[in-house]
């Protein structure tokens, strides 16, 4: 096996820039128009101001940023994106993106295989999970017109919003205490005959809960409803069955029987923002996309992505970045799976520590890499106050010492469902939530947990290991 090493963007860029310049030069030199010429010193000043202003951010790239769903793209993705951006292909049409349309077809084939979809079918990359979900819901509306979208109450808010855009009703289905969609509540809605599509979320954005897809599919089919899988955040956990509970994996394995699926490579796929994907297992839905526009320039008879997507212009650079990344980190257990697994273990290990803590308790057992927990408080108002203090205290120190946590708002009902009973002096309270999506976080957990316990004690006014 070859030796592995850390690679930086600056290592890759010189070679990439000269190769791309050589391609451009091969068409002959031309002078840049004077309207686009610039004063070098003032551009350098702008760049300096830019980087100064970018200092005003939380350290999303750092393992001690254990808050929201944020992480940097891999340098391979960045270098591929920048190389491609230098010619800026548009994956709307083959003519506008010859090489990157081919790359997109290749990555789609890999995504289809990961989910167990047939090799033949429709789908494409998108700018986002939102547009990808919109497209899947639109196709469902065309197939089951006039019917509603059913999604769990914990699903991403995009589903009710996109149902509004599509002018179809949406119905929130209750969740069980483990955060998964209730099958009984779903069946009651299906019995009304009004549901056209059920959205199963495999990895909710808030809690990382996995809806029971393997059971939703036969249920929905019995009532003639389609099943759309929103696994924008969770999709790549398909690669690590050994790290998931058998019950969780059973639902990932059922994606192959769904009618559409959405995954966001810009979440767990090491990509810069602007990379979602929607996939359909069949070709017959192609008829819904028919349009006849005088602006397009389809010179080839092969299918252009512009003919099978809602969006028009779309970055070829995004396809190139994902293509290059998957060459280096293929969609296997040892490839991208090895990047996903440590976060999953980090969440499980932290949960074990929290279960034994005197001052913290778990809100919900993590299924993927999101952990939710709370300080042991007496009342709702005290819970909210301690959570907020903890959140502030953890980050209120010098940069190398900072830990960035996030809070999550929950209600009395959700706490009661999880067997947590407080004095209900307020209808809602913040608890703690961390997305552990950076593999470096696995080894940090024991230390981070110790600190969080001490900050919690301090926020509670108890003696802590930080005193003295």
Ligand X SMILES: *Cc1c(COP(=O)(O)O)cnc(C)c1O
Smaller CB separation from ligand X, 266 or 451: 266
**Scanning residues 383 to 422, which ones bind ligand X (CB under 6 A)?**
none
Number of residues that bind ligand X (CB under 6 A): 13
Is 232 or 353 the residue whose CB approaches ligand X more closely? 232
Edge-first strand order for the sheet with 260-263 is 123-126, 276-279, 260-263, 226-230, 195-201, 148-152, 170-173
Write the CB contacts of 133 (distance below 8 Å, at least 6 apart in sequence). Answer: 156, 158, 159, 162, 199, 228, 230, 232, 262, 278
Question: Bridge-partner residues for 277, per DSSP?
Answer: 125, 263
Q: Give the up-direction half-sphere exposure of residue 419: CA atoms within 13 A in the CB hemisphere.
A: 5
Binding to ligand X, residues 130-159 (CB under 6 A): 130, 133, 156, 158
Q: Where is 262: in which H helix or E strand? A: strand 260-263
Q: In angstroms, what CA-CA distances link 103 with 1, 107, 108, 125, 316?
A: 27, 6, 9, 11, 9
Q: Half-sphere exposure (CA, 13 Å, Cβ side) for 176?
A: 12
Give the nearer residue to ligand X in terms of CB position, either 232 or 371. Answer: 232
* 205 counts as binding ligand X under rule CB under 6 A: yes
Q: Which of 207, 232, 336, 432 is close enough to bind ligand X by CB under 6 A? A: 232
Q: Are 77 and 274 a contacting pair, CB within 8 Å?
A: no
- According to the binding rule CB under 6 A, does residue 254 interact with ligand X? no
Q: With respect to ligand X, which residue has the nearer C-beta, 230 or 367?
A: 230
Fill in the DSSP letter of residue 315.
Answer: B
336 DSSP assignment = H
Residue 385 beta carbon to ligand X: minimum distance, rounded to whole angstroms: 29
Angle at 123 between CA 210 and CA 337, to 5 degrees: 45
Shortest Å distance, C-beta 34 to ligand X: 40
The answer to the question of residue 264 lying near ligand X (CB under 6 A) is: yes
What is the DSSP code string of 362-410?
Answer: EEE--SSSEEEEEE--SBHHHHHHHHHHHHHHHHSS-GGG--B-EEEEE
Q: Which is nearer to ligand X, 264 or 384 (CB)?
A: 264
Smaller CB distance to ligand X: residue 163 or 452?
Answer: 163
Supply the minimum distance, in Å, between the C-beta of residue 226 and ligand X. Answer: 17
Q: Which of 121, 235, 265, 276 binds ligand X (CB under 6 A)?
A: 276
Supply the DSSP symbol for 93.
Answer: S
Q: In terms of CB distance, is 117 or 233 closer to ligand X? A: 233
Give me the least distance between CB of 32 and ligand X, in Å please.
Answer: 36
Question: Minimal distance in Å, beta carbon 431 to ligand X?
Answer: 19
265 binding ligand X? (CB under 6 A): no
Q: Does 369 bind ligand X (CB under 6 A)?
A: no
Angstrom distance (rounded) from CA 300 to CA 124 = 18
Q: Which of 65, 81, 117, 233 binds ligand X (CB under 6 A)?
A: 233
Residue closest to ligand X (Cβ): 129
Give the residue with the Cβ less far from ligand X, 276 or 342: 276
Judged by the rule CB under 6 A, the positions of this chain that interact with ligand X are: 128-130, 133, 156, 158, 201, 205, 230, 232-233, 264, 276
């Amino acid at each position: 096996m070859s030796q592995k090493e850390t690679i930086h963007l600056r290592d890759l860029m010189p070679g990439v820039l000269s190769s791309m310049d050589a391609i451009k030069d091969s068409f002959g030199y031309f002078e840049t128009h004077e309207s686009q010429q610039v004063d070098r010193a003032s551009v350098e000043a702008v760049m300096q101001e830019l980087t100064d202003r970018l200092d005003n951010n939380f350290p999303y790239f750092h393992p001690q940023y254990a808050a929201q769903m944020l992480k940097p793209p891999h340098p391979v993705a960045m270098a591929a994106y920048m190389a491609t951006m230098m010619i800026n292909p548009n994956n709307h049409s083959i003519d506008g993106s010859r090489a990157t349309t081919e790359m997109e077809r290749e990555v789609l084939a890999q995504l289809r295989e990961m989910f167990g979809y047939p090799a033949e079918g429709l789908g494409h990359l998108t700018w986002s999970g939102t547009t990808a979900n919109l497209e899947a819901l639109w196709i469902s509306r065309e197939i089951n017109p006039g019917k509603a979208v059913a999604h769990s109450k914990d699903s991403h808010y995009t589903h009710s919003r996109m149902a509004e855009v599509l002018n179809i009703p949406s119905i929130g289905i209750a969740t069980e205490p483990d955060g998964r969609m209730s099958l009984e509540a779903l069946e009651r809605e299906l019995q009304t005959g009004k549901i056209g599509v059920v959205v199963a979320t495999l990895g909710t954005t808030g809690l990382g809960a996995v809806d029971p897809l393997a059971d939703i599919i036969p249920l929905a089919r019995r009532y003639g409803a389609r099943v759309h899988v929103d696994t924008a955040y969770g999709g790549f956990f398909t690669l690590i069955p050994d790290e998931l509970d058998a019950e969780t994996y059973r639902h990932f394995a059922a994606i192959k029987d769904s009618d559409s699926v959405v995954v966001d490579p810009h979440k767990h796929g090491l990509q810069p923002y602007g990379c979602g994907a929607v996939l359909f297992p069949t070709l017959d839905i192609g008829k819904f996309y028919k349009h006849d526009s005088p602006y397009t320039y389809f010179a080839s008879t092969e299918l252009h992505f512009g003919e099978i997507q809602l969006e028009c212009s779309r970055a070829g650079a995004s396809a190139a970045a994902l293509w290059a990344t998957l060459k280096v980190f293929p969609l296997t257990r040892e490839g991208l799976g090895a990047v996903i697994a440590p976060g999953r273990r980090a969440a499980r290990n932290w949960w074990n520590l929290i279960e034994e803590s005197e001052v913290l308790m778990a809100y919900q057992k993590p299924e993927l890499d999101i952990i939710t927990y709370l300080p042991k408080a007496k009342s709702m108002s005290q819970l909210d106050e301690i959570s907020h203090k903890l959140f502030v205290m953890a980050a209120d120190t010098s940069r190398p010492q900072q830990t960035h946590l996030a809070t999550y708002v929950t209600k009395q009902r959700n706490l009661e469902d999880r067997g947590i009973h407080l004095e209900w002096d307020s209808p809602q309270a913040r608890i703690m939530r961390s997305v552990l999506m950076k593999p470096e976080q696995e080894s940090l957990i024991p230390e981070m947990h110790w600190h969080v316990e001490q900050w919690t004690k301090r926020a509670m006014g108890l003696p802590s290991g930080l005193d003295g």
